[in-house]
Amino acid sequence: MEQGQSLLEMGGPTQLELQQELERLRGAQAQSERTMEARERVHRQRIRGLEDHISTLKERLQQEVRRGPQSFSPSSPSSVAPGN
C-alpha cells in the first residue's frame, strides 16, 4: 500500500482518471469487435458469391461436356468477363 500511496502523492492517476481510461478502452474494444464482425460478414458474403459463381461455371461446363466436343472451340470468346 505504501507504493500506491506514494504514487497518488506524486500525482499518479486518480480513481476518476482510471475509470475514464477503462471506459475509453472498453469503447475502443467494442468498436474493434464491431469492425471485425462487419469484415467477417463481408468475407462471408464474398465467399457465398464465389461459391455461387463456381456452381454456375460447373453447370456450364457440364452442359458443354454433354453437348460434345464439336460445340467447344478454344478460340471462341467466353461469355464470362474476366474477373467475374
Tens-place pLDDT, residues 3-57? 555 555 667 889 999 999 999 999 999 999 999 999 999 999 999 999 999 999 9
Instruction: State how far the Cα of 20 lies from the Cα of 23, in Å rounded to an integer.
Output: 5
Q: What pLDDT digit, counting tens, does each position of 52-75 carry?
A: 999 999 999 999 999 887 655 665
51: buried, middle or exposed (CB in 10 Å: 19+, 13-18, 0-12)? Answer: exposed
Are 80 and 57 contacting, i.e. CB atoms less than 8 angstroms apart?
yes
* Length of the chain (residues): 84
Instruction: State how far the Cα of 68 lies from the Cα of 66, in Å rounded to an integer.
Output: 5
- pTM score: 0.56
